[in-house]
Structure 1
Amino acid sequence: MSMRYLSASVAAAVDKELMSTQAFSLDQLMELAGLSVAEAVLKVQPLEKGSKVLVLAGPGNNGGDGLVAARHLSLWGYSLSYYYPRKSRHEHLIRLETQLKNLGIPEISTAAEVAAALSGPSKVNHVIDALFGFSFKPPMRPPFDEILRLLQESQDSVPITAVDIPSSWDVDQGPLEGNTYAPEVLVSLTGPKPAAKFFKGRHFVGGRFISKDFAAKWDFDIPPYIGGEQVVEVTEKEKL
């Protein structure tokens, strides 16, 4: 699989065309993205390794991807909780949270509760970082700055899967000077962003809804999906 990267401007243009000439709705794209994230977590954190998963959801579409992933993982037998402090007023995101509540998935409402979930004998087994995607612009504001600090402190003891790009990273330059946040897993959606060049962990590409002609138009590749799988893991050679 080739590793051609999508800049922030190209990724935004791709999303725009997917919802125009390609006739996808935002709901559909979010559902497919969240399913990809859930499948990657299933691969790296199978139930027998521990079923407690915490989803950290930001206020935008990246957060919505995390909420979708939470629903799928809950239905697959995982024990989910989620932190969603800046709730969107958009109807599609309101519906996603309602679905979680209907499944009985508990919400964590404070940074202190997040800290408790990341440490101690009853800590979670895995975290999904769905706080901010490729459109993030610094600085990281409260309460997310505190959440990022907690992630940095716990990343050596609790594996983290980042959705599309690790939160706080620059989409083109990766972690800027002084940023020590390094999740264990990255799920690039549609195609990898330039920041993925700096990622050292397990890297998956997901979003199985692109035609070959569409990918060629925007100069990126469709990974070699197998069977009904929604993600493909990138090898060390392909990261170069």
Structure 2
Amino acid sequence: MKPLLSPREMAAADEATIASGTPGFVLMERAGRAVARATVTLAGRRYGARVAIVCGKGNNGGDGFVAARVLHREGVAVRCLLLAEESEYEGDAAAHLRAMSRAGVKPRPFETHSLSYHDVVVDAIFGTGFRGRAEGRPAKAIEAINSNGARVLAVDIPSGVAGDTGAVEGPAVRANVTVAIAAQKLGTVLHPGAGRAGRVEVVDIGIELGDASLHLPEPSDIGAMLPARSVDAHKRSTGSVLVLAGSDGMSGAALLTSRGAARMGAGYVTLVSTSYVDHAKKSLIPEAVSRIVADHSELGPEVLAEFDDDFDRADAVALGPGLGTGPRQQALVETALEAIDVPLVLDADGLNVLAEDAAALRKRTSPTVLTPHPGEMATLLKLSSKDVQADRVGVARRAASDLGCVVVLKGAGTIVAGPEGPAVVNPTGGPELATAGTGDVLTGVVGALLAEGLDPVSAAIAGVFVHGLAGGVAGVSAGGRGTVAWDVAEALPAAVGELYE
């Protein structure tokens, strides 16, 4: 997996590399040269290309000075525009500013009209430590870059995007390409910052990264997680999932969860639900085995004893979608947490009924995966949805640690965090998943992977990744609009195939 760095981790890596003997001046030279190469590629030519580089007064500006010097030497018509007085630059940035001037590139103050008639504008205004709202001259420069019409290359992170959360509180650069120094930064994978970064290209400049606390999975990582199936595999050996979901009026959630498990490869799916759900299941998922609760429109704790043989044969249980949130469902979930001794994935109403007793999750002795959306996460932790979205990584980690579970915090840039170890930001998925029921499909997908024997962290990471790919496959088939959750479930086999292309 590729490392993802927070601003604090990047600063620590910088300091460690400098302490081990590589001067900061040299690192800045390497970074600037990488920016220059990427700029030429984006411009599509070297001779005759016109490039404007807008430099803030920090180290990002220093990278810009190196890029300007290198581009000038290679025949590019380059203009270096300053957002501070020359006397305000310090350290390595000041040294590279002097080197650029000696090489024949004379810096000039930024003016809005300075960006006219350029092929590429390089954003070297703010670095990854930026938080808050851009004001004054930097804000005007950002707005001018966005309205100019030239292609835009951002150094490390688009200016105006918070490096640790991806938050955008004011004007922020919209880049075509972001050149990430040493590793991709968290703010370019979390939204809305991710939407400003364009294509992210990571360049190695010799910084010693150490162990990152965040990772970005790639298709090869996910493909390696999925177990190969032997020629003598049978329906029980490929995983048995029991789905405990649905109620009268909420049959779709139970069916989508079951379909997600089946299409992800579970060899045996048992649906425990109400008779209302069973009527729909027979025509839509004939391969799933039904266990019907008679004389009830909703599920309660008695199902655990009534169908104990089915629970005994299950390799994993998916609990919660469409369940309802009344006293009987609360009793069911609380009892299930203690009685079910196989891996469990808990979603939707299964989470909502635990709002007053989330600590009950810590009593589980078998692996548990929670798959909340931001609203469910807020309810579970007694936060506001705004608080959750403001620090998605931190909230997911806190929940995983406090509750002793693997947490899948859904949304754009889904977070997977375990009680220990690095967290993961999922890179797949898009607006195709913004439709009712796709979360239920994901519950079934994760359940299938748990049943197949994956550890809970791997099941969550792989499940979210493949689910996101399936959304893309389904979106293409639907022409970009009109994708529904059932389409996503049906696209799962094709999505798995993409892992090995």
Percentage identity across aligned positions? 26
Q: State the match for 2:205 in structure 1.
A: 208
List aligned pairs for 1:19-58, cutoff 5 A: 19-20=18-19, 22-47=20-45, 50-58=48-56
Q: State the match for 1:117 in structure 2.
A: 114
What is the Cα deviation at residue 144 of structure 1? Answer: 1.0
Structure 1 counterpart of 2:71, one-letter code = L
Matched position secondary structure for 2:136 = coil
- Name which structure has the greater RCO, CA cutoff 8 Å, separation 6+: 1
List aligned pairs for 1:13-162, cutoff 5 A: 13-20=12-19, 22-47=20-45, 50-86=48-84, 87=86, 88-111=88-111, 115-119=112-116, 123-154=117-148, 157-162=149-154
CA distance in 2, matches of 1:171, 1:91: 22
Q: Which runs of 5+ in 2 are unaligned?
A: 216-425, 429-501
| Contact 1:191–1:220, Cα closer than 8 Å, also in 2 | no
Structure 2 counterpart of 1:146, one-letter code = K
CA distance in 2, matches of 1:172, 1:49: 38
Structure 2 counterpart of 1:44, one-letter code = L
Question: For residues 144 and 178 of structure 1, do their structure 2 counterparts lie closer, same or farther at Cα, with a shift above 3 Å needed?
Answer: closer
Q: State the match for 2:173 in structure 1.
A: 181
CA distance in 1, matches of 2:92, 2:203: 21
CA distance in 2, matches of 1:79, 1:168: 27
List aligned pairs for 1:215-226, cutoff 5 A: 215-218=209-212
Q: State the match for 2:468 in structure 1.
A: none
Q: State the match for 1:229 in structure 2.
A: none
What is the Cα deviation at residue 4 of structure 1? Answer: 2.5
CA distance in 2, matches of 1:217, 1:110: 39
CA RMSD, aligned part only? Answer: 2.4
Q: State the match for 1:228 in structure 2.
A: none
| Contact 1:160–1:185, Cα closer than 8 Å, also in 2 | yes
What is the Cα deviation at residue 148 of structure 1? Answer: 1.2
What is the Cα deviation at residue 159 of structure 1? Answer: 0.6
CA distance in 1, matches of 2:8, 2:157: 15
What is the Cα deviation at residue 72 of structure 1? Answer: 0.9
> Could you list the per-position Cα deviations for residues 37-72 of structure 1 after superposition, in whole angstroms to 9, with x for gaps in the alignment?
111112221326951111111111110011011111
User: TM-score with structure 1 length normalisation?
Assistant: 0.78
Between 131-140 and 194-203, the greater mean CA deviation after superposition: 194-203
Question: For residues 220 and 49 of structure 1, do their structure 2 counterparts lie closer, same or farther at Cα, with a shift above 3 Å needed?
Answer: farther
Matched position secondary structure for 1:217 = coil
What is the Cα deviation at residue 118 of structure 1? Answer: 2.7
Matched position secondary structure for 2:141 = helix
Q: State the match for 2:249 in structure 1.
A: none
Matched position secondary structure for 2:157 = coil
Question: For residues 24 and 159 of structure 1, do their structure 2 counterparts lie closer, same or farther at Cα, with a shift above 3 Å needed?
Answer: same
Matched position secondary structure for 1:19 = helix
CA distance in 1, matches of 2:51, 2:3: 31
Between 80-89 and 177-186, the greater mean CA deviation after superposition: 177-186
Aligned positions, number = 211
> Could you list the per-position Cα deviations for residues 141-189 of structure 1 after superposition, in whole angstroms to 9, with x for gaps in the alignment?
32111111112222xx201100001001011332525656311110000
CA distance in 1, matches of 2:22, 2:31: 13
Question: For residues 208 and 97 of structure 1, do their structure 2 counterparts lie closer, same or farther at Cα, with a shift above 3 Å needed?
Answer: closer
User: TM-score with structure 2 length normalisation?
Assistant: 0.39
